[in-house]
Amino acid sequence: MTETISIRDRQRLQLAPLTVPNRLLLGPGPSNAHPTVLQAMSTAPLGHLDPVFLGIMDEIQSLLRYVWQTDNPMTIAISGTGSAAMEATIANSVESGDVVLVGVMGYFGHRLVDMAGRYGADVRTITKPWGQVFSLAELRTAMETHRPAILALVHAETSTGARQPLEGVGELCREFGCLLLVDTVTSLGGVPIFLDEWGVDLAYSCSQKGLGCSPGASPFTMSPRAMEKLQNRKTKVANWYLDAGLLGKYWGSDRVYHHTAPINLYYGLREALRLVAEEGLAACWQRHQKNVEYLWQRLEDVGLSLHVDREFRLPTLTTVCVPDGVDAKAIARTLLLEHNIEIGGGLGELAGKVWRVGLMGYNSRPENVDRLVDAFKQVLG
């Protein structure tokens, strides 16, 4: 080894091993992972083509189909966070010039608009004030106007706490020969969801919310109709890392190397999904619903009001109105630094107007509701 250049030590920090405060994460995510998930993540690594690891991938695929209630063969984890899985649905379905109609009722609708534009879509939007949702009649009218190739909706708007009903939307999309793309980032694992029954063609989610895992490996699925559009593309998918054709050759029976899977994250995801299957989806959804209703009651008992109409409130994420004259950021900061509880602030239209409180996955427990509301009472004075 010849080494004629001298090594500079300017950026060579000398650090102690990591120590972090023990936070209760009740914001819009990440939530605290289940302790056995964190334990699974520290398991010794396998190679990404090891037969034992390939078996783990198969288990992840089955369990993802279970939690999404789909039989889509193309149901995998994307090796990135939820935003990467979001981009995977866009990248694989959109060809330049495709009309993509996005229902924008919060921050993540805007993100879909931005992404679809980058893939050359002719993006059209319909909008709702943040906290409201679209009716089926409104969606029908928009479909008649725009005749999109893809309708993109956000099932659970993390920025507003609103749940977009999806019953009937799949049939509408079939009537118009259009694919249905749905964001389930804040619903998967915590909100009833039936991808196949609802006729959803493309969906994505994350690991660190309803599934109670650590972030970084993100559920992604495509229906046979969406696969058909992919196979008929005239151009390559404009994203190598997220190309479902290449990913399918690794996750499917071909087992062709694409990228090195984030091994230890997949361990965690497998454990998180295993726990949901053990609890059972119905029980898991009911737990989220029961605990959020307890949260709503306790918040209202201390005089706080909620931003979204009860019918459309998410069981996973609640937007709490900031009382007049209260500094939302200062309260959240005090909760974090003095009580070790993280909650989220408002984004976009709701900046400064709401706090966002998540009760997701492992964190959806009554003792967390009590701890939060007690701290809230103390901090609000």
Query: Which residues ranging from 277 to 316 are in contact with a second copy (CB under 8 A)?
Result: 277-278, 280-282, 285-286, 289, 315
**37 or 179: whose CB is closer to a second copy?**
37
Site residues for a second copy, 101-130, by CB under 8 A, read 111, 114-115, 117-119
Site residues for a second copy, 208-227, by CB under 8 A, read 208, 214-217
Smallest separation (angstroms) from a second copy to the CB of 145: 26
- Say how far apart CA 180 and CA 152 lie, in whole Å: 6
Smallest separation (angstroms) from a second copy to the CB of 144: 28
- Say how far apart CA 39 and CA 35 lie, in whole Å: 6
Site residues for a second copy, 72-91, by CB under 8 A, read 79-84, 87
Smallest separation (angstroms) from a second copy to the CB of 15: 5
**28 or 148: whose CB is closer to a second copy?**
28
- Nearest-CA neighbor of 339 among 308, 370, 303? 370
Site residues for a second copy, 138-157, by CB under 8 A, read none
- Say how far apart CA 159 and CA 131 lie, in whole Å: 8
**145 or 240: whose CB is closer to a second copy?**
240
Smallest separation (angstroms) from a second copy to the CB of 38: 4
Contact 8, 338 (CB under 8 A): no
Contact 350, 319 (CB under 8 A): yes
Residue 270: how many CB atoms within 10 A of its CB?
A: 21
Paired with 202 in beta bridges are: 181, 222
Count of residues binding a second copy (CB under 8 A)?
Answer: 101
Give the three-class secondary structure for 192.
Answer: coil
- Say how far apart CA 63 and CA 79 lie, in whole Å: 17
- Nearest-CA neighbor of 230 among 218, 206, 247, 251? 247
- Say how far apart CA 353 and CA 144 lie, in whole Å: 35
Q: Which residues, including other chains, have CB under 8 Å from residue 106's CB and lie 6 or more apart?
A: 130, 131, 154, 157, 158, 159, 160, 162, 347, 348
Binding-residue pattern over the window 19 to 58 for a second copy, x denoting contact by CB under 8 A: -xxxx-x-x-xx-xx--x-xxxxxxxxxxx-x-xx--x--
Residue of 172, 238, 326, 379 that binds a second copy (CB under 8 A): 238
Residue of 174, 225, 274, 353 that binds a second copy (CB under 8 A): 274
Site residues for a second copy, 161-190, by CB under 8 A, read none
**143 or 200: whose CB is closer to a second copy?**
200
Q: Does the protein bind a second copy through residue 236 (CB under 8 A)?
A: yes
Smallest separation (angstroms) from a second copy to the CB of 278: 7
- Say how far apart CA 66 and CA 335 lie, in whole Å: 37
Smallest separation (angstroms) from a second copy to the CB of 142: 24
Smallest separation (angstroms) from a second copy to the CB of 280: 8
**176 or 241: whose CB is closer to a second copy?**
241
Q: Does the protein bind a second copy through residue 1 (CB under 8 A)?
A: yes
Site residues for a second copy, 323-342, by CB under 8 A, read 336, 342
Smallest separation (angstroms) from a second copy to the CB of 43: 6
- Beta-sheet pairing, 218-222 with 202-204: antiparallel
Site residues for a second copy, 239-268, by CB under 8 A, read 239-241, 257-265, 267-268
Smallest separation (angstroms) from a second copy to the CB of 128: 22
- Say how far apart CA 151 and CA 177 lie, in whole Å: 10
Specify the DSSP element, H or E, that contains 242: none
Residue 130: how many CB atoms within 10 A of its CB?
A: 25
Contact 184, 70 (CB under 8 A): no
Smallest separation (angstroms) from a second copy to the CB of 221: 12
**96 or 378: whose CB is closer to a second copy?**
96
Angle between helices 366-380 and 281-301 (to 10 degrees): 20
